[in-house]
């Protein structure tokens, strides 16, 4: 029986995967080394006014040069798994054609180092850094980009298939499509509802093409997955109008990916809601068959819930077709440094909903964590008590969901290191390891020591 015992000691099932997560552009730096070309994020960072303080990932946490040290930190923490992403413009600079060996070599060295440390590598193929040349050719609203992604997946399967067993195609296509092409707060900074819906479909298609390629190229024991930032959406009241607002956000935030991938269909209410924006003619015969290629698990990134009511939202909005019908309300309670509400029940709600909607699909928390300001005491120790409380509450919620029958196989803490937090630059710190960006010195925060204890004990005290 793999079920945990429920005592005051919250034990997780044997074999539960305890990890940390990062993404290439947020930590690697070395933006022009060894043949790497610009991605849409390099370009976005150079566009005045887009990223706080004009920050960029040019140097970031310099992980490209400090990879061994960072793996050693994880070994010290005792993590079983490490989730990283591959920078597409490092391994296939134009997004087309042959691979660059030096770029591939970095990921070969990284995965060798991990395996040597007894840590399972979990590779994500796309965490938002599209080669700029592919954006110049139309980017994700353009169907061709999905085909290019399939080719890139093949390069990576050939290069790392002998040492990486767990693969994620995309990280958070919702953010990439709707923040990138709808509200424009992420790269490439376009603001078109139509483009964002086209991008979302092409992300689904890219995922399906890559899943097919990976199935064909990898050993049959490999695990192929997709990571979504699902919205734990709640209506403000039980009124029909508020409940319908929540339905709209569930459609364009969650089911736009879940339904094609797991059920081979486009949600019909979404097609109705977005009729003024697009006729969906970009969906071609056979697409849904490709998109619904069976995968082995679903990755979930969760930070906070979303409370909505009937009303309208500011433009430009990421909520294609819903912006004139939905307003977003501040959830009550404490906030992180991102001003995101701390609400672990949202994670429980999400996991039990997926237990019911996707029976038989193993779930993995591929990101959870919080930004807080930490402080160093005179001895140099770095304290982050709010983060420890946030993590404790969310891990308790995961434990409770497992007890209620959700098949959760692992938890990846976001993030290992303080890093480049996208449009917020270096102003927000998500790491359990403090990075002094002037010296690149790494220091465990209290939360790192706490997480190491949780891993060593296989659980926490509830």
Catalytic site residues?
367
The piece of 56-64, 146-154, 171-179, 435-443 that touches ligand GBH (CB under 6 A) is 171-179
Pairwise CA distance, residues 175 & 185, whole Å: 10
Is residue 175 near ligand GBH by the rule CB under 6 A?
yes
Q: Give, as ranges, the residues between 9 and 38 that touch ligand GBH (CB under 6 A).
A: 23, 26
Contacts of 354 (CB under 8 A, 6+ apart): 230, 298, 300, 361, 363, 406
Is residue 418 near ligand GBH by the rule CB under 6 A?
no
Residue 84 or 444 having the CB closest to ligand GBH: 84
User: Rounded to the nearest whole angstrom, what is the least distance from the CB of residue 81 to ligand GBH in the complex?
Assistant: 17
Is residue 412 near ligand GBH by the rule CB under 6 A?
no
Residue 139 or 346 having the CB closest to ligand GBH: 346
Contacts of 273 (CB under 8 A, 6+ apart): 248, 251, 252, 321, 322, 325
User: Rounded to the nearest whole angstrom, what is the least distance from the CB of residue 149 to ligand GBH in the complex?
Assistant: 18
Residue 284 or 312 having the CB closest to ligand GBH: 312
Radius of gyration for the alpha carbons in the chain, expressed in angstroms and rounded: 21
Is residue 44 near ligand GBH by the rule CB under 6 A?
no
Check residue 32 and report its DSSP letter.
T
Residue count, binding to ligand GBH (CB under 6 A): 14
User: Rounded to the nearest whole angstrom, what is the least distance from the CB of residue 421 to ligand GBH in the complex?
Assistant: 5
Q: Which two tokens stand for residue 389?
A: 């409380």
The piece of 70-78, 170-178, 204-212, 281-289 that touches ligand GBH (CB under 6 A) is 170-178
Q: Give, as ranges, the residues between 363 and 402 that touch ligand GBH (CB under 6 A).
A: 367
Is residue 169 near ligand GBH by the rule CB under 6 A?
no
Angular region, 165: left φ>0, alpha ψ -120 to 50, beta rest: alpha
Q: Give, as ranges, the residues between 226 and 285 that touch ligand GBH (CB under 6 A).
A: 229
First to last CA, the chain: 21
Pairwise CA distance, residues 126 & 112, whole Å: 21
Q: Which of 81, 135, 323, 421 binds ligand GBH (CB under 6 A)?
A: 421
Pairwise CA distance, residues 73 & 68, whole Å: 9
Q: Give, as ranges, the residues between 293 and 332 that touch ligand GBH (CB under 6 A).
A: 301, 303, 306, 318
226-251: burial string, b at 16+ Cβ within 10 Å, e else: bbbbbbbbbbbeeeeebebbbbbbbb
Q: What residue ranges bind ligand GBH (CB under 6 A)?
A: 23, 26, 171-172, 175, 229, 301, 303, 306, 318, 367, 414, 421, 430
């Amino acid at each position: 029986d793999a079920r945990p015992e429920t005592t005051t000691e919250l034990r997780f099932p044997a074999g539960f995967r305890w990890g940390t997560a990062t993404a290439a552009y947020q930590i690697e730096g070395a933006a022009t080394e060894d043949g790497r070309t610009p991605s849409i994020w390099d370009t976005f960072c150079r566009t005045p006014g887009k990223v706080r303080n004009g920050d960029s990932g040019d140097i970031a946490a310099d992980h490209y040069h400090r990879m061994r040290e960072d793996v050693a930190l994880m070994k010290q923490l005792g993590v079983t798994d490490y989730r990283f992403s591959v920078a597409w413009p490092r391994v296939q600079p134009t997004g087309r054609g042959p691979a660059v060996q030096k770029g591939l070599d970095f990921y070969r060295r990284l995965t060798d180092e991990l395996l040597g440390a007894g840590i399972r590598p979990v590779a994500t193929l796309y965490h938002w850094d599209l080669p700029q040349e592919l954006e110049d050719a139309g980017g994700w609203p353009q169907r061709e980009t999905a085909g290019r992604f399939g080719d890139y997946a093949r390069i990576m399967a050939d290069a790392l298939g002998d040492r990486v067993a767990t693969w994620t195609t995309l990280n958070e296509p919702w953010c990439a499509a709707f923040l990138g092409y709808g509200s424009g707060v992420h790269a490439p900074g376009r603001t078109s509802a139509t483009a964002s819906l086209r991008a979302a479909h092409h992300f689904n298609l890219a995922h399906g093409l890559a899943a097919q390629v990976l199935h064909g190229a990898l050993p049959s024991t490999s695990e192929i997955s997709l990571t979504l930032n699902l919205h734990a959406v709640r209506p403000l009241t039980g009124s029909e109008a508020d409940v319908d607002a929540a339905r709209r956000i569930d459609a364009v935030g969650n089911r736009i990916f879940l339904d094609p991938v797991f059920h081979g269909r486009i949600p019909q209410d979404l097609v109705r809601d977005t009729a003024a924006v697009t006729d969906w003619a970009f969906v071609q015969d056979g697409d849904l068959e490709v998109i619904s290629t069976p995968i082995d698990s679903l990755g979930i990134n969760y930070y906070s819930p979303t409370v909505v009511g009937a009303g309208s939202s500011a433009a430009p909005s990421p909520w294609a077709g819903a912006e004139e019908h939905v307003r977003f309300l501040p959830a009550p309670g404490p906030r992180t440094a991102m001003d995101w509400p701390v609400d672990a029940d949202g994670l429980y709600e999400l996991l039990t909903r997926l237990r019911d909607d996707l029976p038989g699909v193993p779930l993995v928390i591929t990101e959870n964590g919080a930004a807080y300001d930490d402080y160093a005491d005179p001895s140099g120790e770095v304290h982050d008590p709010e983060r420890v409380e946030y993590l404790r509450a969310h891990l308790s919620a995961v434990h409770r969901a497992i007890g209620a029958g959700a098949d959760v196989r692992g938890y990846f803490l976001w993030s290992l290191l303080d890093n480049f937090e996208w449009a917020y630059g270096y102003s927000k710190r998500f790491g359990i390891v403090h990075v002094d960006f002037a010296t690149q010195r790494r220091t465990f925060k209290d939360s790192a020591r706490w997480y190491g204890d949780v891993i060593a004990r296989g659980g926490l005290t509830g």
